[in-house]
Amino acid sequence: MGLRPNLLTRRTAGVASTTLALLLSTAAVGVVPTASAFSAAPSDACVEPADVHTDARIKAGGHAKHEPNELTSAQVREREADLAAALRERANFRPGAGATPVASVTIPVVVHVIQRDSTRAGGNIPDSMITQQISVLNEAYAGATGGAATAFGFQLQRINRVTNPAWYPIVQGSSAERSMKTTLREGGKNTLNIYLGELSDDLLGWATFPQKKLNSMDGVVVLSESLPGGTATNYNQGDTGTHEVGHWLNLYHTFQGGCTGSGDGVGDTPAEASPAFQCPTGRDTCTATGLDPITNFMDYTYDSCMYQFTPGQASRMLTAWNAYRAA
């Protein structure tokens, strides 16, 4: 699978015609809150609060002090067992006693812009970048960029601007991050909270996976300059947000588990031994059928290379929504 020329044209034209930028997504792992993100290099374990595990997307060429690991096989088993249990619990609800499964979802979004001061360099990005990020999410999840249509749409509810040097930059796994989210998070399990700002350790973003009980850490953290029209070269078309929201909706990376086992738990994403960077057309790292899914939003390639979710991923996200986040 290679980059389709019309995709790059669409995105380039979109950024040139507006100064808007994009939102992020994300996810958490296990029965305890966990987080997931993009990384541009193999990662080592990081020290973080006891109830948080993260893997993170790192800027190309970056050397993060904390490069979080991919999920271990044990963590994946734990997450999958938890999902199965949540689905069983839902199936056992008496008619009228529990939530009704949904087929389409409009997700309310609250965006928190964390600033050091009132300057652009200090994190004060324009509202237009945020509204464009929402547009990028809606296009990606509707299949408008060339992938499968999913059940999800996004509606911006509020932009909350906070000037607090103690939270800037946002340091992944820190007590300051916990303080920020505990203070600012709004809404229930169905509300996507996005935190924008400068990030620590060359990270582009991270997110939490869904879980049965809402935790204040739930949400997505994204580098503000990765929004459409931002200054993060090769990562400034909004797909860090797209990727992280995928984790928040329970998707793993396409390279989860490598060439063996159940991989990312989705049957129509070809197995991939390791993350793909830049846009390596024709890459094939596993003997199983299919080239590496380098154009999938859940790989690590440049924004210009990504354009799709698969039908299997769309199904997995909706299943998890009904298990964890539906009212």
Region(s) of the chain under CATH 3.40.390.10: 105-251
CA 210/CA 74 separation, integer angstroms: 17
Give the C-alpha separation, 111 to 162, whole Å.
Answer: 11
Q: pLDDT tens-digit profile of 144-175?
A: 999 999 999 999 999 999 999 999 999 999 99
Whether the pTM exceeds 0.75: the reply is yes
Q: Which residue has the tokens 């949904």?
A: 102
Q: pLDDT value at position 13?
A: 32
Q: Which two tokens stand for residue 265?
A: 């738990």
Residues 312 and 222: their CA atoms lie apart, in Å, by 26
Number of alpha helices (DSSP H) and beta strands (DSSP E) in the chain: 6, 7
Beta strand residue intervals within 7-129, DSSP E: 35-37, 57-58, 105-115
pLDDT tens, residue by residue, 177-230: 999 999 999 999 999 999 999 999 889 999 999 999 999 999 999 999 999 999
Report the C-alpha gap between 125 and 310 in whole angstroms.
Answer: 32
Determine the Cα–Cα distance for residues 246 and 38; give it in Å rounded to an integer.
Answer: 11
**DSSP letter (8 states) at residue 98:** S
The catalytic position among 48, 177, 244, 272 is: 244
Residues of the chain with pLDDT under 50: 1-34, 39-54, 63-69, 97
Residue 240: alpha-carbon gap to chain centroid: 7
For residues 248 and 37, what is the distance between their CA atoms, to the nearest angstrom? 10
Superfamily of domain 105-251: Collagenase (Catalytic Domain) (3.40.390.10)
Angle at 122 between CA 139 and CA 131, to 5 degrees: 20
How far, in Å, CA of 10 to CA of 228, rounded?
Answer: 13
Q: Annotated catalytic, 244?
A: yes
Helix (H/G/I), strand (E/B), else coil: 123: coil
